[in-house]
Amino acid sequence: MTNLTATHNLSKIVAASITKVSTPFKQPMLFKGHNLCSREGYRLKLHFSDGTIGKGEASPLPGFSQESLNDCLLQLKQVLAPLNLNQPIDLSKADAPSVAFALDCALSKTSYEVDSMTLPNEMPLLIGSNQTIVKEYKQLGKPDRIKLKAARQAPSLDAALVNQLHQLNPALKCILDANQAWTAQDADEFANRIPCKVIAYIEEPCATYDDTMGFFKTTGIPVALDETLQNKNFKFHPQAGIAALVIKPSLIGSFARCQRCIEVAKQHNIQTYLSSSFESPMAIKQLAYLAQCWTPNQPAGLDTIKYLDIDKLTLTPIAQWPQKPCSTDG
């Protein structure tokens, strides 16, 4: 794993700006009770005295991020405010995970390594009705490994989908992401309706960590941790049944925190996967670069970009530093 750190001296930042990024979804998307028509965030741009420009994106995901969009804007303004006094930016104000991640991207070479990046198509993500997913799976050529969103309908319907896909390709291995939405009973009902061998693992099947680990003990189906890692107070201890850690930098935070999770997993031979949170194309490319550095032998979960109408992305300037004085007449 290649460790990444800030490559610029904070005192070398001579200007900065914030731009709002809005990218419509091709179809409205539901995120834990939040029905979103567009994905929104803030793009940070840092100008350095050597002429280079660093970029990052703070895009909290409603329903998953602890911080709101307004929280991000406030923190970014607090971080950048010292530039008005010709002083270094104040990173101590960057408490929100999405803001910390954006700043690390802007301060590291991640910003200018991505222009020539091509996005790998390694892990197809299929979202929609059962009929839509089956149709898309066939169009993709029935790949042996896919990721599905689960727990957005009755467990019996999720099981019916998995069984139908398995019939189309007996070699299929599914990764399911339940986003902690199943009760223990829901999860057990799902497992009882499928051949367990078709499941590679399920990301966060249950609402609590104890129920998730209990699910493995009851069914033998491996699990992966995702939302649990976003809790700053959670101390990861390897246990039987944990097949993978899913690293979503926009939700976990700084490079250092992401890298610590990966290092601990590596010490215990647990797989790690870098995954997106429906960020804009610029941020997705940065995640692809980070995946090459941090998890070079694992597929990255970056297929969220296909659900965004990137041709309709809009950028709206919000603020810049040093702030220009207001002009006066007379």
Domains of the chain (ranges, CATH numbers): 10-116+311-321 (3.30.390.10), 125-308 (3.20.20.120)
Q: Give dist(CA 133, CA 239) in Å, integer.
A: 33
Over pLDDT 70: what percentage of the chain?
91
Would you say 300 and 125 are in contact if contact means Cβ atoms under 8 Å apart? no
- More confident site: 6 or 62: 62
Specify the pLDDT at position 241.
95
For residue 235, indicate whether it is catalytic. no
Q: Taking the model in full, what pTM does it have?
A: 0.90
Helices (H) and strands (E) in the chain, counts: 9, 11
Q: Is the pLDDT of residue 1 over 60?
A: no
- 39-61: pLDDT as tens digits: 999 999 999 998 889 999 999 99
Q: Is the pLDDT of residue 329 over 50?
A: no
Active-site residue, selected from the candidate residues 149, 173, 285, 306: 149
Alpha-carbon dihedral of residues 134, 137, 139, 144, nearest 10 degrees? Answer: -150
For residue 248, indicate whether it is catalytic. yes
CB atoms inside a 10 Å sphere around CB 239 = 14
User: What's the whole-number mean pLDDT along residues 304-329?
Assistant: 83
Active-site residue, selected from the candidate residues 248, 266, 306, 324: 248
User: What's the whole-number mean pLDDT along residues 127-144?
Assistant: 96
User: What's the whole-number mean pLDDT along residues 264-288?
Assistant: 93
Q: Give dist(CA 108, CA 241) in Å, integer.
A: 35
Q: Give dist(CA 84, CA 141) in Å, integer.
A: 56
User: What's the whole-number mean pLDDT along residues 18-22?
Assistant: 97
Specify the pLDDT at position 309.
96
Q: Longest Cα pair distance anywhere in the chain, in angstroms?
A: 80
- 93-128: pLDDT as tens digits: 999 999 999 999 999 867 665 666 666 667 899 999
Coil, helix or strand at residue 322: coil
Structure tokens, 171: 């070699």
Specify the pLDDT at position 225.
96
Specify the pLDDT at position 234.
85
Specify the pLDDT at position 123.
82
